[in-house]
Structures are given as C-alpha cells and as structure tokens.
Amino acid sequence: MTSNIAHRIVQLKRDRKAILLAHNYQPPHIQDLADITGDSLELSREAANTDAEVIVFCGVEFMAETAAILNPNKTVLLPRLDAGCPMADMITAADVAAVRAQHPGVPIVTYVNSTATVKAESTVCCTSANSIQVVESFRDSDTVYMAPDQNLAKYTARHTKKKVLHWEGYCPIHHHLTVEEVRAQQEAHPEAIFLAHPECPPEILDLAHEVTSTSGMIRFVKESSRKSFIIGTERGILYSMKKMNPHKEFYGASPRMVCADMAKTSLEDVLRALETLEPRIQVPEEVRIRALKAVEMMLRISS
Ligand code: 13P
Ligand code: SF4
C-alpha cells in the first residue's frame, strides 16, 4: 500500500514538474521520497533556485511561506495546512512594529521561523545556520534586535561583540529540554558526545560539544571520528543520521523532543496535494514584496 502511494507520488511529481522539499525533521517515509532534505537555510536556497513549477513543501507553514515569498509564479503546496510552528505564533507584525518604534534605527533580525507578515516588518531574516553572520553584517550598528527566539538570540550574543536585544519567544520542543535529561543520557552513554541546536537554552548549550543547525549536525556526525552522539534536537533527524551512518549510534537527548507539527505530514497528504494542487500557500503581494527584501538580504549575506 505504502509503496503504491510512493510510486504514484513519483509519477505525479514528474507529470506536475514538481519538486519535493523536506525538512530534516520530517517522518522517514517523507524524507525517503524527497528530492532534497535540509535545514531551513538550505531549503530556502533550493526554493529560490528551483526551476520546478510546483514546490511541495514537507515541513511547517513558515517554510512553505518562505518558498512562496521567493516564488510568486510557482505553485507552493503545504500538504498539511495545520502544520504550524508555535514559536512563529509568539510574535505578530504589530509587535515588530512596536519594537521598531521603541528602538529606532536598530536592525531587526528575524528568525525564518516567523510568519510572512512578521518578516515583512523586519530588516533581515536569519536561520540557525547563519544568525551570527547576519548579525555581524551590520557594521554600523552596535545593537541589533532578534526575534522571536530568545535562545537563538542568546546563542548569537555569545559570538558577537554587538548588544543583542531579543523577543521572549521560544520553541517548546527545545526550550524545555533540561540539564537533568542531558546529564542522564550522558551517564547512560559516557562514550557519546552531545550536539545541541541553538534553539536550546544557554544552560543546555553549555553542555554541548557542538552547537549547530540541523544540517550542521548531520554534517558533523558524518565527518566525526566519534562513534556515538546524543542529539539535542527534534527526533525526526535521528532517522537520516542513522541511515547515513549505520555503524554509528544516535540517542535523542530527551524522548520529549517531538514536534507534533513536523510529524503530521503523511504520504497520503503528499499524494492528495499533488493530485489536487491544494493546500496552496499564497502570500498577499504587498506583504510578499516587503518580506522578500528581508529574505533576499539574508540569502545575499550568507551566500
Ligand atoms: P534548522 O534551520 O536548523 O533546520 O531548524 C529549523 C527548526 O524549526 C528548528 O526547530
Ligand atoms: Fe517550530 Fe520548534 Fe517545531 Fe521547529 S521544532 S517547527 S521551531 S515548534
């Protein structure tokens, strides 16, 4: 049954001239079928460069919105319209406008994990892979404001001399990882090294051997001579790590690191999206033009 659906998806993808992009957290059968898997920055770059006519974005809404911002003339599909990001919902465009009024002249560096209307109010976007580079690019500003993730802001602040103000948002999956949970895994697997995503709080990053984006982690474990790893990010990533490195061991930092929104997409959803060309993500042109400036500025800085 699953292989029938997968076969039909592959056929329809060809007929529709579609590309299937999947975030590193997506369920295994989605990652296996994807043309490209990656972190937010890599998928934004793929969305910017693809010549496919249809982009099927297996991830959460802000990712498909970013693809739609970059591709106004393409059909961008999000197979599960209810796949959102709680962190993205922690700030509104009105909040960003208020921040700008409070801190005139201070660049607002907004994590791509945000809505299109929030991006439209921002100076520039960033991802977990390029936040330091983006902040450092403001040579004439001693202060920047980062939103919505407080933890990405605190991580970035450790790597720049600039003053980094921030919004108080957070990712519930990373923010609630505890030192006790990491220490318990370290005791259970003393040979393993611990990798953490910058969405984790500072006291967790203090325990980490390496702090990096999801694709940064995938590259790290591949290149490392070490054989076992404790992974401080969403559990979906463990599948591709094990698939690419069958002789290495991977342990989730906590069984609670599950993003319910990322887990929603099924093969049936992808098939339905390709059959019906719905649900389609569209960004109103007036918002898109302003959000595009922030996304393109980020892509230029981190090219
Ligand atoms: P990456 O850009 O590192 O893949 O992170 C995206 C995300 O949603 C992390 O929770
Ligand atoms: Fe949003 Fe966190 Fe899920 Fe990433 S893991 S999509 S930041 S809720």
Contacting residues for 31 by C-beta, under 8 A, at least 6 apart = 22, 24, 37, 236, 239, 240
Domains of the chain: 2-82+262-286 (3.40.50.10800), 88-170+287-302 (3.40.50.10800), 177-252 (3.40.50.10800)
pLDDT beyond 80 at 94: yes
Q: Would you call 23 helix, strand, or coil by DSSP?
A: strand
| Average pLDDT score over residue span 213-220 | 97
The pLDDT value given to residue 1: 61
Q: Would you call 110 helix, strand, or coil by DSSP?
A: strand
What are phi and psi for residue 208, nearest 5 degrees?
-90, 145
113 lines ligand 2 (CB under 6 A): yes
Each residue's pLDDT tens digit, 46-77: 999 999 999 999 999 999 999 999 999 999 99
Q: How far apart, in Å, do the first and last CA atoms of the chain sit?
A: 42
Q: Would you call 109 helix, strand, or coil by DSSP?
A: strand
Of the residues 197, 211, 231, which should be mutated to test ligand 1's pocket, given the most ligand atoms within 8 Å of the CB? 197
Of the residues 25, 41, 43, 85, which should be mutated to test ligand 2's pocket, given the most ligand atoms within 8 Å of the CB? 85
The pLDDT value given to residue 66: 96
Each residue's pLDDT tens digit, 107-143: 999 999 999 999 999 999 999 999 999 999 999 999 9
For the entire predicted model, the pTM comes to: 0.96
pLDDT beyond 80 at 303: no
State the Cα–Cα distance between residues 178 and 42, nearest whole angstrom. 29
Atom of ligand 1 nearest to the CA of 234: 10
Tokens of 292: 């595009």
